[in-house]
C-alpha cells in the first residue's frame, strides 16, 4: 500500500530546542493512501502542532516528514500539495464563497463548466448553496467553516488536513455532515487527517485514531480496537463515554484462581480458568494494579459486591447510575429505565471478560478480559 504521509521521529519545541516547550515528542506515524486519521486529545496535547508541522505552518524541530514519498519538512506550505481547512486559514474576503471554492480549483486547469459542477456538488453536500454569492464577512462562523471545508475538499491534493472542521456547527448538522464528508472522502480515495477533541467525531469519521497526550502518541489504532484494547490507562479512560471506571487493586493467587483486593475490604474473586495462564502469571508478578471496567459492562446482581446509589439519570435512551463503591465512585449504564433511589443498596458484578488491567506504575495495559494486552 502506498504511504502518503510518513512522520519520522518528529519533535516540536516552541523556543530553543531541548529547552523550550516540548509540544510534540518523538512522533512517528505512517498513513497509507485512502485512510482517514483523527488526531484526538485534550487541549494542549500537541495535535494542532502536529497538523501545523505537516502543513508547513510550523517548523519541525527534529525529525522528518514526507508526503507521497517526498521529504517536505523544509518546503513552504504551498509546495507540499496539501489541501487545508484551518481555523486561521481563512477565506479570501474580496471573493464570494463560490469564487473562494472555485479559486482552489484554478490550478487544476479544469474548464469553467467542470469547476461550476464541482463547486455546486460540494456546496450541496455542505448545505451552503444559498450563500454561494455572499462574501465571507456577511456569513456566520458556521457557514464560513463549511465554505472553508468545501474549499479544501474540492481540491485535488495528496493530503487533506482538517482542523476541528465542524467545531462551529450545531449538533444535528454536524451529525449529517459527518456521514456525507466521510462518504465523499472515501469515494474519491482521498487521504485525510483531522484534528478533533470530540471523540464522537473521531469515531464516526476516522479509520484510525491517533490518541495524543502530553505531546506523546499514546495509541494509533482503529476506533473499535481503542475501545476494546486500550494500550494504557490514559486511552482507556480518555476514550469512551461515560469514562471507564478504575480502581486500584492488589493481586493475590488463590489456589488456581485469582483475587483482586479492592479498597473497603471488597474483592473480586475469580476461579481457575477465568483468565488464561499467562494472564494470571502476569497479574501475580505485578501485585499492585489498576483495574478498569466500562460503565456498560458493569452488571447488577443480588449477590454482588455492595454499592450505594448516589445518582440515577435517565437520558431518554439509557440510564446512568452512579454508586459509591470500593472507596470511590462507579458508573453503570443500563439500557432500560431503572427506578433506583439515591441511597439504595445494589450488588455489583464484574465479569472477567470485561475487565481491563493496567500496570499501577506505568499505566501500560496488562490484560483485556481473558487475554494478555
Ligand atoms: N506558538 C506557541 N508558542 C509556545 N507554546 C506553544 C505555541 N503553540 C502551542 N504551544 C504549546 O504547545 C503545547 C501543544 O499545543 P497544541 O496547540 O499543539 O495542542 P492542542 O492539543 O492542539 O491544543 P488545542 O486543542 O487547545 O488547540 C501546549 O503546551 C501549548 O501551550
Instruction: Give strand pairing partners of 82.
Output: 159
Distance from Cα 139 to the centre of ligand 1, integer Å: 29
Question: So what's the pLDDT on residue 255?
Answer: 75
Which residue's CA lies nearest to atom 20 of ligand 1?
Answer: 44
Is 208 in the same domain as 263? Answer: no
Pick the last residue of a domain from 238, 254, 280. 238
Question: So what's the pLDDT on residue 66?
Answer: 98
Strands 257-261 and 328-334 turn out to be unpaired
Measured in degrees and rounded to the nearest 5, phi and psi for residue 295 equal -55, -35
What are the tens digits of pLDDT across the range 39-65? 999 999 999 999 999 999 999 999 999
Question: So what's the pLDDT on residue 136?
Answer: 94
Which residue's CA lies nearest to atom 4 of ligand 1?
Answer: 14
Strands 245-254 and 257-261 turn out to be antiparallel
Sheet holding 70-71, edge to edge: 21-32, 3-14, 62-67, 70-71
The closest of 124, 100, 141 to 184, measured between CA atoms, is 124
Which residue's CA lies nearest to atom 25 of ligand 1?
Answer: 43
Other beta carbons less than 10 A from residue 10's beta carbon: 22
Question: So what's the pLDDT on residue 116?
Answer: 92
Is 215 in the same domain as 343? Answer: no
Which residue's CA lies nearest to atom 24 of ligand 1?
Answer: 43
For residue 234, give the C-alpha cell: 490514559
For residue 221, give the CATH number of its domain: 3.40.50.300
Question: So what's the pLDDT on residue 88?
Answer: 64
How many domains, in total, are found in the chain? 2
- Interface pTM, i.e. ipTM: 0.97
Other beta carbons less than 10 A from residue 26's beta carbon: 14
Measured in degrees and rounded to the nearest 5, phi and psi for residue 218 equal -90, -35
Other beta carbons less than 10 A from residue 309's beta carbon: 18
Is 174 in the same domain as 118? Answer: yes
Pick the last residue of a domain from 208, 238, 268. 238
CB of 46 sitting under 6 A from ligand 1: yes
CA 205, CA 212: separation in Å to the nearest integer? 17
CA 77, CA 233: separation in Å to the nearest integer? 37
Is 142 in the same domain as 204? Answer: yes
CB of 172 sitting under 6 A from ligand 1: no
CA 178, CA 8: separation in Å to the nearest integer? 30
CB of 197 sitting under 6 A from ligand 1: yes
Which domain, by its residues, includes 135?
A: 3-238
Pick the last residue of a domain from 209, 238, 267. 238
Is 73 in the same domain as 186? Answer: yes
Distance from Cα 50 to the centre of ligand 1, integer Å: 10
Mean per-residue pLDDT pooled into runs of 10, the chain (373 residues): 95 96 98 98 94 96 97 94 83 94 82 91 96 94 93 95 91 93 96 94 96 97 97 96 96 87 93 87 92 97 95 95 96 94 96 96 95 93
For residue 148, give the C-alpha cell: 472553508
Distance from Cα 28 to the centre of ligand 1, integer Å: 19
Of 48, 53, 202, 214, the one to substitute when testing ligand 1's pocket (max ligand atoms within 8 A of C-beta) is 48
Question: So what's the pLDDT on residue 9?
Answer: 98
Distance from Cα 163 to the centre of ligand 1, integer Å: 14
Is 173 in the same domain as 267? Answer: no
Question: So what's the pLDDT on residue 8?
Answer: 98
Which residue's CA lies nearest to atom 28 of ligand 1?
Answer: 44
Which residue's CA lies nearest to atom 31 of ligand 1?
Answer: 44
Distance from Cα 199 to the centre of ligand 1, integer Å: 19
CA distances to 100, 117, 350 from 111, rounded to whole Å, are 16, 10, 64
Instruction: Give strand pairing partners of 67.
Output: 5, 70
CB of 211 sitting under 6 A from ligand 1: no
CA 87, CA 52: separation in Å to the nearest integer? 11
CB of 92 sitting under 6 A from ligand 1: no
Question: So what's the pLDDT on residue 253?
Answer: 87
Question: So what's the pLDDT on residue 109?
Answer: 78
Question: So what's the pLDDT on residue 105?
Answer: 85
Is 291 in the same domain as 355? Answer: yes
For residue 186, give the C-alpha cell: 472515501
Is 149 in the same domain as 289? Answer: no
Of 49, 50, 86, the one to substitute when testing ligand 1's pocket (max ligand atoms within 8 A of C-beta) is 49
Question: So what's the pLDDT on residue 247?
Answer: 96
Which residue's CA lies nearest to atom 30 of ligand 1?
Answer: 44
Question: pTM of whole model > 0.90?
Answer: yes
Is 77 in the same domain as 41? Answer: yes
For residue 294, give the CATH number of its domain: 2.40.50.140
Residue 150 · residue 101 · CB < 8 Å: yes
Is 76 in the same domain as 149? Answer: yes
Is 228 in the same domain as 287? Answer: no
Is 140 in the same domain as 272? Answer: no
Amino acid at each position: 500500500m502506498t504511504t502518503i504521509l510518513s512522520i519520522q521521529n518528529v519533535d516540536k519545541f516552541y523556543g530553543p530546542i531541548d529547552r523550550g516547550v516540548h509540544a510534540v515528542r518523538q512522533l512517528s506515524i505512517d498513513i497509507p493512501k485512502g485512510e482517514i486519521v483523527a488526531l484526538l486529545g485534550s487541549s494542549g496535547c500537541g495535535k494542532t502542532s502536529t497538523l501545523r508541522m505537516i502543513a508547513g505552518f510550523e517548523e519541525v524541530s527534529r525529525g522528518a516528514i514526507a508526503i507521497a514519498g517526498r521529504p517536505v519538512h523544509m518546503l513552504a506550505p504551498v509546495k507540499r500539495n496539501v489541501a487545508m481547512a484551518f481555523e486561521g486559514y481563512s477565506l479570501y474576503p474580496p471573493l464570494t464563497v463560490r469564487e473562494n471554492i472555485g479559486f482552489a480549483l484554478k490550478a487544476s486547469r479544469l474548464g469553467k463548466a467542470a469547476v461550476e459542477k464541482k463547486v455546486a456538488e460540494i456546496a450541496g453536500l455542505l448545505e451552503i448553496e444559498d450563500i454561494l454569492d455572499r462574501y465571507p464577512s456577511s456569513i456566520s462562523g458556521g457557514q464560513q467553516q463549511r465554505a472553508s471545508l468545501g474549499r479544501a475538499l474540492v481540491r485535488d491534493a495528496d493530503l487533506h488536513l482538517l482542523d476541528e472542521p465542524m467545531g462551529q456547527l450545531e449538533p444535528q448538522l454536524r451529525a449529517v455532515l459527518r456521514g456525507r464528508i466521510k462518504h465523499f472522502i472515501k469515494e474519491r480515495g482521498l487521504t485525510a487527517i483531522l484534528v478533533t477533541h470530540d471523540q464522537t467525531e473521531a469515531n464516526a469519521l476516522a479509520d484510525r485514531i491517533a490518541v495524543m497526550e502530553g505531546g506523546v502518541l499514546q495509541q494509533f489504532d482503529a476506533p473499535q480496537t481503542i475501545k476494546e484494547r486500550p494500550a494504557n490507562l490514559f486511552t482507556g479512560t480518555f476514550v469512551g463515554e461515560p469514562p471507564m471506571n478504575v480502581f486500584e487493586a492488589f493481586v493475590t493467587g488463590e489456589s488456581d484462581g485469582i483475587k483482586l483486593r479492592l479498597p473497603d475490604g471488597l474483592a473480586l474473586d475469580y476461579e481457575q480458568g477465568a483468565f488464561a495462564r499467562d494472564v494470571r502469571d502476569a497479574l501475580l508478578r505485578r501485585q499492585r494494579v489498576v483495574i478498569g471496567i466500562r460503565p456498560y459492562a458493569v452488571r447488577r446482581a443480588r449477590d454482588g459486591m455492595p454499592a450505594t446509589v448516589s445518582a440515577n439519570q435517565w437520558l431518554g435512551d439509557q440510564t446512568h447510575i452512579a454508586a459509591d463503591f470500593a472507596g470511590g465512585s462507579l458508573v453503570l449504564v443500563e439500557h432500560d429505565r431503572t427506578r433506583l433511589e439515591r441511597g439504595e443498596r445494589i450488588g455489583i458484578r464484574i465479569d472477567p471478560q470485561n475487565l481491563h488491567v493496567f500496570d499501577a506504575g506505568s499505566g501500560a495495559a496488562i490484560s483485556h478480559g481473558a487475554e494478555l494486552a
